[in-house]
Amino acid sequence: MSLATTAAPLAITRLGRNRTDRGEFRARELSATTVLVTAVGEVDASNSGDMLGYVDEHATGYQQLVLDLSRLTFFGTDGFSALHTINVRCSRRGIDWVVVPGAEVARVLRVCDPESLLTTAGNIVSAVAALARGPHTHLQLAPLAK
């Protein structure tokens, strides 16, 4: 018995490195005190500052932040520098926050944050639960020697 295919092949579009919208950021209020910021695509040297600015802008006025990076397909060390800056700024503003890393972010965190000083959660629900349990201690910057 032979099988005949009459439909045209299905074209599947995949995110690639040559896309112009390499990083997309979204924000959603989870409660009056908590905001969720999600990044999709890639975070690297070309847009880590954009991510930092977006988080800065959207975390203002909230007491808690969930930063969902679980859907990133690439996360460079410049992204970790942005996370470090987010950590410092949230600490200064009294914003408790948790990052939800995907595989790409977890890989960078294993190298750049081996002591797991940044609070992480496996998913958004776990991140909100962690925030509900109380404030977290985050990395504090020591003044640089002159």
pLDDT digits (tens, 9 = 90+) for 44-89: 999 999 999 999 999 999 999 999 999 999 999 999 999 999 999 9
Instruction: Kindly state the average pLDDT of the residues 100-120.
Output: 95
- Please report the pLDDT score of residue 31 as a whole number: 96
| Radius of gyration over every alpha carbon of the chain, rounded to an integer in angstroms | 18
Q: Find the range with the poorest average confidence among 11-20, 73-82, 93-102, 126-135.
A: 11-20
Query: Alpha carbon of 18 to those of 13, 14, 36, 112, 129: distances in Å?
Result: 13, 11, 28, 27, 37
Give the pTM: 0.79
Separation between Cα atoms, residue 1 and residue 19, nearest integer Å: 43
Query: What average pLDDT does the structure give for the chain?
Result: 84
pLDDT at 144: 44
Q: What is the pLDDT of residue 137?
A: 55
CB 23 within 8 A of CB 40: yes
Neighbours of 104 (CB within 10 A): 19
Residue with tokens 């490195």: 17
Helices (H), the chain: 48-59, 77-93, 103-112, 124-132
Give me the pLDDT at residue 22, please.
75
* Beta-carbon contacts of residue 27 (< 8 Å; ≥ 6 apart): 35, 36, 37, 38, 54, 58
CATH node for 23-132: 3.30.750.24
Q: Which residue has the tokens 């949230």?
A: 90
